[in-house]
A and B are shown apart, each in its own frame.
Chain A
């Protein structure tokens, strides 16, 4: 079936199978491989994208349900060659190790700060609780987030 959606600011129309997930479409049809599948059942947060602005695990969304909606992936956060504020802060703080979960982390973190620019530490921890990082980069993630939220160095 045909799916029309806005992806990273561009209207896109493409063929999808009715049983495909949004994550499969993003990765396999659009070749945007930033969002990752680490569990496939909404337990790890590594596949987060913004769906109409809301951070959403794209492995839990059936592709047809994305019809007419606006999707932003990690690739769409900043123009090619540039970084958004969250990406820049993560890079500077070293808030990643292997980098596999980082797209899910920056997508979720950006949405939080958009809604709560001065989010408290507890709010940051709750917002990012669903994004698993086996390398344990959490301490540096908090450092980056504290700075973005207007605290710390």
Chain B
């Protein structure tokens, strides 16, 4: 029976959020803490000749100064290539070189300015195409010596990831095509720009030689693993206590401020060290979306069936691989979109450059490839004279279709998402622009997204003496409503009201293991673990009730927090354990683990089962825009956005993700762009790196598609990650509809629009 699942329950973290009571990473102060600051590299590539910290050491308030020589460890989840502080050489502008802890933040910053570092500049490679050149400077000449995962590298080059994939006979596929198109698309770097900047507090206990970190992160166990692997210490020597997270979007999941606070804490004699980056540091020297250049070649028949597709994708990890390897490989694998494609081939390369490190960003590579795939789908439709919606529907996946690795796909809500967004935007109806210098157009784009597979989640559920239910899961609340949705699942799985459920914050000392809060996997994976543990604890509660109340367990039930006998409530759970002497006390706990590993749903062609996803998410956005042909400015009028969530545990929380995704997509497509040259980012402020604000927001209609999923908790899949990817190509496609121009490289700026309009006019004039 479900009582809260499917309802827009008020978020359980909401009261703390609207009153300002929620404690984020930046809000935390630990007694006796010092404050850190960072001396950063001014060069994209240089050898460190000498570091003279004498003046800084003598400055007021300074307690600790650390360099890479003092803390010479390397970290990295895919390739262990990144130092906590630069060792011998710097590889990007803004790379941390020296860390300083002082009594106040101002004293630490002032001392940082006094450190003298002498550099010998080295040739730098700041463009990903240049990084492929045979004589390109090597960012990591010793790449082949690093500890790394199973991915393929090309030693003595800048290529840190190489992956190829082929299915069918791609040349035969192209030979059978009536039309072959080939285009190159570029997706740019973007800041995660979480409003809460990177921040952490680290303490080192010299007695136990153990670290404690207080931090906002979405990957507690993975960050712990990165740290223990880097330092060569066991898991009990690192404890992570996770605060409320003031936005992550894939950005707060590795050692960023943490690398600095940990290095400083190691030498701070037990005093905690707090490190908070300024907005300028946050924008220019933490992590960005991985930029990509994507060549996509597609063959189609005259009537609009895709016969073959081949792609070459080049990704830029920046100076260190961080978590980009998965982004490049998993992201690229979805460049063919949610379309049946009999023959295909793919070559993926990722290179090091002397630029700030890049990494996972909401969508994990799908925002980049969806830009390429969905722009080209419209270009093909235009070339064939087909309706872009009909062309997509003709080729789109349906329930039971095989994916490109031959996994049979279930829970495919693609068609419904296309049809409902098209209906909502008024597809095929022409809206007149309100003034002669304005043009209106409509566009649609869709996408599919796998979730990280296989991964696992654990849940421990505990019933307290007053009947309250504590759900221990390592699923930090990053803003997407995780805690509420998981509480809803727990409430219904156990048979208690949601008000009785508490989901405490993550503390790796007590919370069981979970994969990351990423990849839109939380509701499904953690939810499944909670459903299993919930069923077990329900049985234990009923057995205890039978014992305490001296009844027949077989006739008891737990409904909405009441013990019920043959349908008649006999005792509230909140009173069941009360009044018992200590000797009769009950401690009721249950635990469960869910893993997608080995699920029959993942069966696919060997050796490509790793490309299977335990569930597939589909999202379609349809946009109406207005373009000013005198200024080139694009205004988004309306977006209808559908997400196939399987089943909405909390429809309001799903709407939040869909609406927020569209806002992010608009911001990414029209406003956000790093400026600078030679590997340096010059626009390190919100005045110069513009984010969408309220006046930029159109009418957004969120559409929830519920395709259901058999292995899911109450049918629910995921929602957050696919929510932003389809908006930029939907806008680009609407721009083509409005004025007949194509922008292939993001972002869509007024300058590019004006230039394209002028080029089109001159080409037509010449023709």
Q: Point out residues on A near B: beta carbons under 8 Å.
A: 27-28, 31-41, 43-44, 46, 73-75, 77-78, 83, 87-88, 90-92, 94, 96-103, 106, 124-126, 128-142
B480 neighbours in A (Cβ, 8 Å): 97
Contact status A38-B694, CB under 8 Å: no
Contact status A98-B246, CB under 8 Å: yes
Contact status A38-B197, CB under 8 Å: yes
Contact status B20-A75, CB under 8 Å: yes
A132 to B20, CA, bound (A): 16
Task: Describe A's contact surface by its main secondary structure.
Answer: loop
A102 to B59, CA, bound (A): 39
User: Smallest CB-CB separation from B14: which chain A residue?
Assistant: A91
A87 to B46, CA, bound (A): 52
Tally chain B residues at the interface, Cβ within 8 Å: 57
A-B CB proximity, top 10 nearest: A34-B20, A98-B479, A136-B663, A99-B17, A136-B660, A100-B246, A74-B20, A33-B27, A43-B686, A97-B479
Contact of B659 among A87, A102, A129, A136 (CB under 8 A): A136
B584 neighbours in A (Cβ, 8 Å): none
Contact of B694 among A77, A92, A99, A128 (CB under 8 A): A128
Contact status B695-A129, CB under 8 Å: yes
A138 neighbours in B (Cβ, 8 Å): 659, 663, 694, 697
Contact of A125 among B15, B20, B687, B695 (CB under 8 A): B695
A120 to B245, CA, bound (A): 33
Q: Would you call B16 an interface residue if the criterion is a C-beta within 8 Å of the partner chain's C-beta atoms?
A: yes
Min distance, Cβ A72 to any Cβ of chain B, angstroms? 12
CB-contacts of B202-249 with A (<8 A)? 244-247, 249
Contact status B10-A91, CB under 8 Å: yes
Contact of A39 among B21, B192, B685 (CB under 8 A): B685
A2 to B213, CA, bound (A): 35
Min distance, Cβ B200 to any Cβ of chain A, angstroms? 16
Min distance, Cβ A119 to any Cβ of chain B, angstroms? 13
Contact status B17-A140, CB under 8 Å: no
Contact status B10-A136, CB under 8 Å: no
Contact status A44-B20, CB under 8 Å: no
Task: Describe B's contact surface by its main secondary structure.
Answer: loop
Contact status B479-A99, CB under 8 Å: yes
B244 neighbours in A (Cβ, 8 Å): 98-99
A140 to B652, CA, bound (A): 10
Contact status B691-A97, CB under 8 Å: no
Min distance, Cβ B481 to any Cβ of chain A, angstroms? 8
A75 to B655, CA, bound (A): 28
Q: Would you list 23 pairs from A and B whose C-beta atoms are within 8 A, ordered by A residue? A: A34-B20, A36-B26, A39-B279, A39-B685, A39-B686, A41-B279, A74-B20, A75-B21, A90-B18, A91-B15, A94-B656, A96-B14, A97-B247, A97-B481, A99-B16, A100-B246, A102-B17, A102-B18, A125-B697, A134-B194, A134-B247, A135-B660, A136-B697
A35 to B195, CA, bound (A): 12
Contact of A44 among B481, B686, B697 (CB under 8 A): B686
User: Smallest CB-CB separation from B23: which chain A residue?
Assistant: A33
A125 to B249, CA, bound (A): 25
Contact status B17-A96, CB under 8 Å: yes
A133 to B429, CA, bound (A): 33
A94 neighbours in B (Cβ, 8 Å): 8, 10-11, 14, 652-653, 655-656
Q: Would you call B661 an interface residue if the criterion is a C-beta within 8 Å of the partner chain's C-beta atoms?
A: yes
Q: Which of B14, B17, B29, B691 has the most CB of A within 10 A?
A: B17
Min distance, Cβ B670 to any Cβ of chain A, angstroms? 14
A123 to B19, CA, bound (A): 24
Contact status A98-B659, CB under 8 Å: no
User: Smallest CB-CB separation from A89: which chain B residue?
Assistant: B18
A44 to B196, CA, bound (A): 11
A70 to B695, CA, bound (A): 30
